[in-house]
Amino acid sequence: MSARRATRPVGLVTRGTTNPNRLRRVDRWLAGPQAWRLRAAADPLVADLGYGASGVTAVELRDRLRPVRHDVEVVGVEIDRARVAAALPLAGAGLWFVRGGFELPMPDGRRPVAVRAFNVLRQYAEAEVGEAWAVMRGRLAPGGLVVDGTCDEIGRRAAWIALDATGPVSLTLSLRLAGLERPSDVAERLPKALIHRNVSGEPVHAFLAALDDAWAREAPLGAFGARQRWTATAAAVRAAGWPVLDEPSRWRLGEVTVAWDAVSPLARPPADPLADPRVNPRGPV
């Protein structure tokens, strides 16, 4: 992933799988609780990194952000020349496509206030994630945000890590509640930094287990609808000590956001995993 040659894109070609409306959940989040970043930006520039075989999700991103900032500009960035060429007919007002990778080549050296990198790092080794994050964070405008996420093929289950100039800030889970058996079903869609950490003793595993437990206990509320059950689940997890950052207005959409420090991977397992407050927010047992 080294950037020794400035003219060579940093990164690898992804599988390129994409579908219309696949990224609606993260777009809704960028246009919702994160909209303030775009409104405050001196330059409303957004990068869609690794959009894949079709540029349609970049078009959708521009259109979903326009109500927040009518002058928003979206740059679709792809490392594969053929994909850039295929997307060029979609270019238009506030939207264009360039070849590049994690170095995020923006026009005239501009810096994006938001970078959406979805289903990009999934194919990399976990050890390579930190370097990719650092490269992207180094390209952000002041107050900017990188969103590193993964979702299923039609966007029913998604998870993403938000990073600002200082590093990771939060983890968001977003699920289609209808037919949901348990929250931990999203585990297979965790971003690369966490997907291999969903094992006993790791904080993210404990968080998913806490969600599952609360979801099961709130089952009677399912009679009033899955939204009510999910809202009660998120509230219960917060009450148990997990630093849930969002509010019921987001929970009703099937979202929950938790502070990164509570779920970040352990450098090494503690002698007693339950003694780690991230694994057991209630304290040692």
- Residue 260 tokens read as 């990164």
Distance CA 25, CA 80 (A): 26
Q: How many CA atoms lie within 13 A of 234 on its CB side?
A: 25
Query: Confidence class of residue 12 from pLDDT cuts 50, 70 and 90?
Result: low
Q: Record the pTM.
A: 0.91
Round to whole Å and give the CA distance between 186 and 25.
14
Residues 134-173: tens digit of each pLDDT:
999 999 999 999 999 999 999 999 999 999 999 999 999 9
Residue 123's pLDDT band, with cuts at 50, 70 and 90, is confident
Burial 95-128 (b: 16+ CB within 10 A, else e): bbbbebbbbbbbeeeebbbbbbbbbbbbebeeee
| Across 164-192, average pLDDT | 97
Q: Is the CB of residue 161 less than 8 Å from the CB of residue 50?
A: no
**pLDDT for position 3:** 37
Average pLDDT of the chain is 91
Helices (H), 114-201: 126-137, 192-195
Q: What is the rounded distance in angstroms from the CA atom of residue 166 to the CA atom of residue 24?
A: 27
Report how far residue 269's alpha carbon sits from residue 204's, in angstroms, rounded to the nearest whole number: 13
pLDDT for res 1? 42
Please give the average per-residue pLDDT across 263-283, as a whole number: 68
Burial class of residue 173 (count of CB atoms within 10 Å of its CB; 0-12, 13-18, 19+): buried
What pLDDT is recorded for position 4? Answer: 38
- pLDDT at 28 > cutoff 90: yes
pLDDT at 87 over 80: yes
Whether residue 254 contacts residue 178, with contact meaning beta carbons closer than 8 Å, is answered with: no
Instruction: Report H helices in the chain.
Output: 24-30, 35-40, 56-65, 81-87, 126-137, 192-195, 203-217, 226-239, 248-251
Model confidence band, residue 89 (pLDDT cutoffs 50, 70, 90) = very high
- DSSP conformation class of 262: G
Strands 95-99 and 73-78: parallel
